[in-house]
């Protein structure tokens, strides 16, 4: 797959899917976004992309969309709140696993043989070694991670039986923004947007969960990747050569920055970028939170040449520009001239 292609992006009205769609369009590819808008936003779909408001739980309509003809699929559509997944696991298995099976069925019927799946490093659970490599034993600790692992297994068998060529990309925290595409979650659980809400006056302070971890500053260390860097990895995986043998191939790649950033580091960079003091309150650890979660990206670096180019300051700066823009738009809507 070299040069412009026609690609279906499921969940393309969401944060990461919309950025990947924008990058595909910039490279001259034809993009159709499929999203049920349960958590996505119609105005996040980049200009120039087609749009189908369809659920993966609607197999007949899904089959009609795939029958339009595509060179590949990038699959982002999923429920992704860890806490909610533990309260309503049936919702996550139905939406994530059954929806993905419906997508694979529709792809097979339409003879679409290339897939890039947005998996997660949550499939590994609490790591026994850091940074986490792809050969680490998977042991998810929540229903969200378990559904993603089930989909990864399903994709592997599909590749062996039906010559599907697929890549699953596993990563932790994504941050930053690309122009009009950025994080807009109904329930915000990610650190950087929460800290920036304090700078915008929407929260009084940010809470630090645990200050006694065996890390340089006592706070938890997590992996962060700029959403633009993440999008590049998806495009490289989509364009990777197909195998020449009798079966397809399922590649699994971790995406990591190599060292991670502590909670205090993130907050301090947010203070520097925003010029806001951003009060922080130290509270106790949350049950099950490991001290360090960082993924190794050696495999995708050696195989596809990917490596992150943007650091934490870039992520916060772009996220802050996006957050202020959204806040200004909300203010204008609330107080029209």
Q: What percent of the chain has pLDDT over 90?
A: 84
> Quick one: what percent of the chain has pLDDT higher than 70?
96
34 bridge partner residues: 10, 52
Residue of 297, 233, 229, 310 whose CA lies nearest to 269: 310
Pick the CATH number of 6-173+226-254 from 3.40.50.720, 3.55.50.30, 3.40.640.10, 3.40.47.10: 3.40.50.720
Q: What's the burial of 228, exposed, middle or buried (CB within 10 Å: 0-12/13-18/19+)?
A: buried
Q: pLDDT tens across 49-67, in order?
A: 999 999 999 999 999 999 9
Provide the pLDDT for residue 321.
Answer: 97
Is it the case that residue 165 has pLDDT exceeding 60? yes
Q: Is residue 326 predicted with pLDDT exceeding 70? A: yes
Q: DSSP assignment of 156-188, as one string?
A: HHHHHHH--EEEEEE-SEEE--BTTB----SS-
pLDDT band for 8, please (50, 70, 90 cuts).
Answer: very high
* Confidence at residue 328, expressed as pLDDT on a 0 to 100 scale: 84
Q: What per-residue confidence (pLDDT) applies to 88?
A: 97
Interhelix angle 263-274/312-334, rounded to 10 degrees, is: 60
**What pLDDT shows up at residue 332?**
56
Mean pLDDT, the chain, whole residue set? 93
| Residue 304 pLDDT grade (very low, low, confident, very high; cuts 50, 70, 90) | very high
258 pLDDT above the threshold of 60? yes
Domain boundaries, the chain: 6-173+226-254, 191-222+258-334
In words, the CATH class of domain 191-222+258-334 is: alpha beta
pTM of the model as a whole: 0.94
* pLDDT tens string 188-227: 889 999 999 999 999 999 999 999 999 999 999 999 999 9
Task: State whether residue 78 is helix, strand or coil.
Answer: coil
To 10 degrees, the CA torsion angle through 106, 28, 255, 11?
-40
Q: Is the confidence at residue 337, as pLDDT, over 60? A: no
Supply the residues annotated as catalytic.
Answer: 144
Q: For residue 244, is pLDDT > 80?
A: no
């Amino acid at each position: 797959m070299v040069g412009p292609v026609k690609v279906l992006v499921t969940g393309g009205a969401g944060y990461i899917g919309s950025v990947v769609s924008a990058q595909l369009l910039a490279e001259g590819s034809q993009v159709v976004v499929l999203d049920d808008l349960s958590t996505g936003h119609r105005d996040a779909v980049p200009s120039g992309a087609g749009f189908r408001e369809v659920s993966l739980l609607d197999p007949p309509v899904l089959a009609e969309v795939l029958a339009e003809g595509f060179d590949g699929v990038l699959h982002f559509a999923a429920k992704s709140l860890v806490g909610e997944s533990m309260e309503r696991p049936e919702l996550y298995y139905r939406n994530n696993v059954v929806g993905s099976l419906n997508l694979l069925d529709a792809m097979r019927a339409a003879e679409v043989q290339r897939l890039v799946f947005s998996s997660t490093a949550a499939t590994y659970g609490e790591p026994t070694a850091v940074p986490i490599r792809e050969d680490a034993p998977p042991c998810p600790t929540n229903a969200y991670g378990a559904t993603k692992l089930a989909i990864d297994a399903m994709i592997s068998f599909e590749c062996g039986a039906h010559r599907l060529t697929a890549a699953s990309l596993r990563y932790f925290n994504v941050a930053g923004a690309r122009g009009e595409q950025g994080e807009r979650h109904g329930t915000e659980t990610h650190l950087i947007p929460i800290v920036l809400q304090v700078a915008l006056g929407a929260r009084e302070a940010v809470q630090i969960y645990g200050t006694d971890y065996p890390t340089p500053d006592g706070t938890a260390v997590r992996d962060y990747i700029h959403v633009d860097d993440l999008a590049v990895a998806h495009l490289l995986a989509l364009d990777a050569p197909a195998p020449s043998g009798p079966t397809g191939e399922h590649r699994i790649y971790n995406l990591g920055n190599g060292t991670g950033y502590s909670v205090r580091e993130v907050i301090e960079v947010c203070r520097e970028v925003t010029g806001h003091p951003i009060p922080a309150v130290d509270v106790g650890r949350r049950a099950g939170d490991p001290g360090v979660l960082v993924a190794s990206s050696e495999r995708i670096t050696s195989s596809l040449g990917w490596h992150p180019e943007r650091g934490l300051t870039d992520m916060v700066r772009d996220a802050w520009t996006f957050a202020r823009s959204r806040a200004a738009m909300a203010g204008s809507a609330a107080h029209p001239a």
